[in-house]
Amino acid sequence: SQQGEEDPQALSIQEGENATMNCSYKTSINNLQWYRQNSGRGLVHLILIRSNEREKHSGRLRVTLDTSKKSSSLLITASRAADTASYFCAPPGGYNKLIFGAGTRLAVHP
Amino acid sequence: NAGVTQTPKFRVLKTGQSMTLLCAQDMNHEYMYWYRQDPGMGLRLIHYSVGEGTTAKGEVPDGYNVSRLKKQNFLLGLESAAPSQTSVYFCASSYPRTGGTEQYFGPGTRLTVT
C-alpha cells in the first residue's frame, strides 16, 4: 500500500537542538502531508508539500520532498519541550484519503 | 467554529454489545473519514464518505458500518463489539481539492471492549 514509513521510530534530543525525521513512500504522488499528534490527542496538520516543490517552510519547520527518491524529510529547528509529540507523514490515496505510517516519536528534554 | 467534534469521548462495552460513534463538523466539508489508532501505531482508515448519502470502505472496514445521512454528520457503528475493536477512534473531515488538502481531526473516542 502507499503508506508513509517514518524513520527513525523514536528520537530523543535536548531543547535547542534540531530534529530531523524522514519519510519514504512507494508510488508517485502529487503531494505529501505531515501531521503532529500530541499524546492522546487528535492529529494536527503541519504542512503540505506538492510534487513540484522541493522545499517548504513554516515557522521552525522545514520540509523537503525528493520525488526521484520517493522520500521527504521534516526538520524542526531550535526544538522546544512543547514539540514533544509523534510526527506522521501521509502520502495521499484517492479522495484525499491519507495513508499513515507508525510515525516518529519525538521527545525533547528541557 | 467547533471544527470536528466526536461523541462520546470514552466508552466501555462488553463483548457483543453495539454502539454508535457520532462525528460532527461545522466546516461544510464534503469528505469525512473514520480512523482507528492502536497503541504505538499510526491511524488506519476504516470507512470514508465523499458526500452526503455516500460511503466507502477503507483499509480495515470489517466489523464496522457507517452512515452519512447529513453532510455535517458521519456515524460509525459497531454491531457486535469484539475485544479486537478496543482502540482510539478518530474522525476527520476535508474539502475536495485537486492536489490534496489537509484533514481536520476530532479529539478522538477511546473505546474499550471487555
Span B51-104, pLDDT tens digits: 999 999 999 999 999 999 999 999 999 999 999 999 999 999 998 877 778 999
Residue B69 C-alpha cell reads as: 445521512
On whether the CB atoms of residues B59 and B45 are closer than 8 A, the answer is yes
Give the amino acid at B42. G
Q: How far is B67 from chain A (nearest CA, A)?
A: 17
* Mutation target vs A (from B38, B102, B105; most A CBs, 10 A cutoff): B102
Reported as a pLDDT band with limits 50, 70 and 90, residue A93 is confident
Which residue on chain B is closest to A47 by alpha carbon? B102
Which residue on chain A is closest to B106 by alpha carbon? A42
Q: Does A40 touch chain B (CB under 8 A)?
A: yes
pLDDT in tens, A8-53: 999 999 999 999 999 999 888 889 999 999 988 899 999 999 999 9
Helices (H), ranges, chain A = none
From the list A1, A50, A102, which residue is nearest B99 (CB)?
A50
* Mutation target vs B (from A9, A58, A96; most B CBs, 10 A cutoff): A96
